[in-house]
Amino acid sequence: MNAAVATVTLNPALDQTITLDRLRPGSVHRARAVRVNAGGKGINVAACLADWGVATAALGALGRDNAASFDALFAARDIVDRCIRLPGDTRTNVKLVEQETGWTTDINLPGLTLGGVEFDMISAQLADVLRPGMPVVLAGSLPPGIADDAWARLQAQASAVGARVVLDTSGAPLAAALAAPRHARPYAIKPNRHELEAWAGHALPDRAALLGAARGLLARDIGLVAISMGADGALFVRGDDALLARPPRIADGSSVGAGDAMVAGLTSALLDELDLEALARRAVAFAVAKLGCEGARLPQPNVVHEYAAATVIERLA
Ligand X SMILES: O=P(O)(O)OC[C@@]1(O)O[C@H](CO)[C@@H](O)[C@@H]1O
Ligand Y SMILES: Nc1ncnc2c1ncn2[C@@H]1O[C@H](COP(=O)(O)OP(=O)(O)OP(=O)(O)O)[C@@H](O)[C@H]1O
Catalytic residue from among 65, 260, 272, 275:
260
Select from ligand Y, ligand X, none the partner in contact with residue 108, using the beta carbon and a kind-dependent cut-off of 5 to 8 Å.
Answer: ligand X
Select from ligand X, ligand Y, none the partner in contact with residue 8, using the beta carbon and a kind-dependent cut-off of 5 to 8 Å.
Answer: none
Asked if 256 touches ligand X (CB under 6 A), the answer is: yes
Nearest to 47 by CA among 81, 93, 18, 16: 81
| C-alpha torsion sign, points 167, 172, 178, 184 | negative
Residue 118 vs 173, nearer CB to ligand Y: 173
Residues 108 to 147 in contact with ligand X, rule: CB under 6 A: 108, 140-141
284 CB-side CA count, 13 A: 33
Q: What are the φ/ψ torsions at residue 180 (nearest 5 degrees)?
A: -65, 160
Residue 40 vs 125, nearer CB to ligand Y: 40
Asked if 63 touches ligand X (CB under 6 A), the answer is: no
CA distances from 159 to 11, 58, 185, 270, 279 (A): 22, 18, 8, 15, 22
**Close Cβ partners of 76 (under 8 Å, ≥ 6 residues apart):** none
- Distance between CA atoms of residues 30 and 34, nearest Å: 11
Residue 260 designated active-site: yes
Candidates 260, 268, 298, 307; binder of ligand Y (CB under 6 A) is 260
Stretch that binds ligand Y, among 4-12, 26-34, 152-160, 247-255 (CB under 6 A): 247-255
The site map against ligand Y for 170-199 (x = CB under 6 A) is ----------------------x-------
Stretch that binds ligand Y, among 138-146, 201-209, 215-223, 252-260 (CB under 6 A): 252-260
Select from ligand X, ligand Y, none the partner in contact with residue 247, using the beta carbon and a kind-dependent cut-off of 5 to 8 Å.
Answer: ligand Y
- The answer to whether 187 and 155 are in contact (CB under 8 A) is no
Candidates 288, 289, 296, 308; binder of ligand Y (CB under 6 A) is 288
Candidates 5, 41, 83, 213; binder of ligand X (CB under 6 A) is 41
- Distance between CA atoms of residues 3 and 232, nearest Å: 33
CB of 251 to ligand Y, least distance (A): 4
Select from ligand X, ligand Y, none the partner in contact with residue 311, using the beta carbon and a kind-dependent cut-off of 5 to 8 Å.
Answer: none
Residues lying near ligand Y in the complex (CB under 6 A) = 192, 228-231, 233-234, 247, 250-251, 255-260, 262, 284, 287-288, 291
Per CB under 6 A, residues contacting ligand X are: 11, 13, 15, 39-41, 44, 93, 106, 108, 140-141, 256-257, 259-260
